[in-house]
Protein backbone atom coordinates (compact mmCIF):
# COMPACT_ATOMS: atom_id res chain seq x y z
CA UNK A 1 0.00 0.00 0.00
CA UNK A 2 2.74 2.42 0.96
CA UNK A 3 4.68 1.93 -2.27
CA UNK A 4 1.62 1.78 -4.54
CA UNK A 5 -0.11 4.91 -3.26
CA UNK A 6 3.01 6.66 -1.96
CA UNK A 7 1.39 6.93 1.45
CA UNK A 8 3.31 7.01 4.70
CA UNK A 9 2.08 6.62 8.26
CA UNK A 10 1.09 10.07 9.50
CA UNK A 11 -0.26 11.22 6.11
CA UNK A 12 -3.84 11.02 7.46
CA UNK A 13 -4.94 7.92 5.59
CA UNK A 14 -6.32 4.47 6.31
CA UNK A 15 -2.77 3.33 7.04
CA UNK A 16 -2.87 5.35 10.24
CA UNK A 17 -5.51 2.95 11.59
CA UNK A 18 -4.44 -0.19 9.75
CA UNK A 19 -0.80 -0.28 10.86
CA UNK A 20 -1.45 -0.12 14.64
CA UNK A 21 -4.20 -2.72 14.24
CA UNK A 22 -1.93 -5.11 12.34
CA UNK A 23 0.85 -4.45 14.88
CA UNK A 24 -1.55 -5.48 17.66
CA UNK A 25 -2.36 -8.70 15.80
CA UNK A 26 1.35 -9.41 15.33
CA UNK A 27 1.97 -8.85 19.05
CA UNK A 28 -0.47 -11.67 19.82
CA UNK A 29 0.87 -14.20 17.30
CA UNK A 30 2.66 -16.28 19.94
CA UNK A 31 -0.69 -17.12 21.53
CA UNK A 32 -2.54 -20.28 20.56
CA UNK A 33 -5.68 -18.25 19.77
CA UNK A 34 -7.25 -14.85 20.28
CA UNK A 35 -9.41 -14.60 23.37
CA UNK A 36 -12.70 -12.74 23.51
CA UNK A 37 -10.85 -9.92 25.31
CA UNK A 38 -8.16 -9.81 22.58
CA UNK A 39 -10.86 -9.25 19.96
CA UNK A 40 -12.37 -6.42 21.99
CA UNK A 41 -8.94 -4.84 22.44
CA UNK A 42 -8.31 -5.13 18.69
CA UNK A 43 -11.46 -3.10 17.98
CA UNK A 44 -10.36 -0.52 20.56
CA UNK A 45 -6.91 -0.23 18.98
CA UNK A 46 -8.47 0.37 15.55
CA UNK A 47 -10.92 2.94 16.91
CA UNK A 48 -8.27 4.81 18.89
CA UNK A 49 -5.94 4.92 15.89
CA UNK A 50 -8.73 6.23 13.65
CA UNK A 51 -9.61 8.94 16.18
CA UNK A 52 -5.97 10.01 16.33
CA UNK A 53 -6.13 11.01 12.65
CA UNK A 54 -8.08 14.09 13.80
CA UNK A 55 -4.76 15.59 14.83
CA UNK A 56 -3.07 14.98 11.49
CA UNK A 57 -2.89 17.13 8.38
CA UNK A 58 -3.94 15.35 5.19
CA UNK A 59 -0.99 14.93 2.85
CA UNK A 60 -2.55 12.52 0.36
CA UNK A 61 -5.93 11.89 -1.22
CA UNK A 62 -8.84 14.22 -1.79
CA UNK A 63 -8.58 15.90 1.60
CA UNK A 64 -5.06 17.10 0.81
CA UNK A 65 -6.39 19.19 -2.09
CA UNK A 66 -9.09 20.99 -0.15
CA UNK A 67 -8.02 23.63 2.32
CA UNK A 68 -11.58 23.94 3.64
CA UNK A 69 -11.51 20.50 5.29
CA UNK A 70 -11.45 20.90 9.05
CA UNK A 71 -8.32 19.49 10.67
CA UNK A 72 -10.45 18.09 13.50
CA UNK A 73 -12.11 15.49 11.23
CA UNK A 74 -11.31 11.78 11.38
CA UNK A 75 -9.90 10.43 8.13
CA UNK A 76 -12.71 8.52 6.34
CA UNK A 77 -10.42 5.65 5.34
CA UNK A 78 -9.15 5.25 8.89
CA UNK A 79 -12.73 5.35 10.15
CA UNK A 80 -13.68 2.62 7.65
CA UNK A 81 -10.82 0.44 8.92
CA UNK A 82 -12.14 0.95 12.45
CA UNK A 83 -15.70 -0.02 11.45
CA UNK A 84 -14.47 -3.13 9.63
CA UNK A 85 -12.36 -4.30 12.56
CA UNK A 86 -15.22 -3.61 14.97
CA UNK A 87 -17.51 -5.85 12.91
CA UNK A 88 -14.90 -8.60 12.64
CA UNK A 89 -14.08 -8.36 16.33
CA UNK A 90 -17.74 -8.54 17.37
CA UNK A 91 -18.25 -11.78 15.46
CA UNK A 92 -15.05 -13.45 16.67
CA UNK A 93 -15.38 -12.20 20.27
CA UNK A 94 -18.78 -13.87 20.48
CA UNK A 95 -17.39 -17.08 18.97
CA UNK A 96 -14.37 -17.06 21.32
CA UNK A 97 -16.63 -16.61 24.34
CA UNK A 98 -18.47 -19.87 23.58
H or E segment to which residue 36 belongs: helix 36-52
CB atoms within 10 A of CB 48: 13
* Measured CA distances, 61 to 10, 30, 93 (Å): 13, 36, 34
Report the pLDDT value the prediction gives residue 96, as an integer from 0 to 100. Answer: 79
The 10s digit of each residue's pLDDT in 29-86 is 898 888 889 999 999 999 999 999 998 888 876 666 666 556 688 999 999 999 999 9
Residue 59 to residue 13: CA distance in whole angstroms: 9
Of 17, 30, 38, which is closest to residue 80 (Cα–Cα)? Answer: 17
Question: Going along the chain, which residue ranges are E strands?
Answer: none
- Residue count (the chain): 98
Angle between helices 36-52 and 15-27 in degrees, nearest 10:
150
User: pTM for the complete prediction?
Assistant: 0.83
* Domain definitions of the chain by residue range: 2-97
What's the pLDDT band for 2 if we cut at 50, 70, 90? low
Amino acid sequence: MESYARVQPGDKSLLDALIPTVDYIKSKRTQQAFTSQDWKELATVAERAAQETKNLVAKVGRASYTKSVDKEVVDPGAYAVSVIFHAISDVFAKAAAR
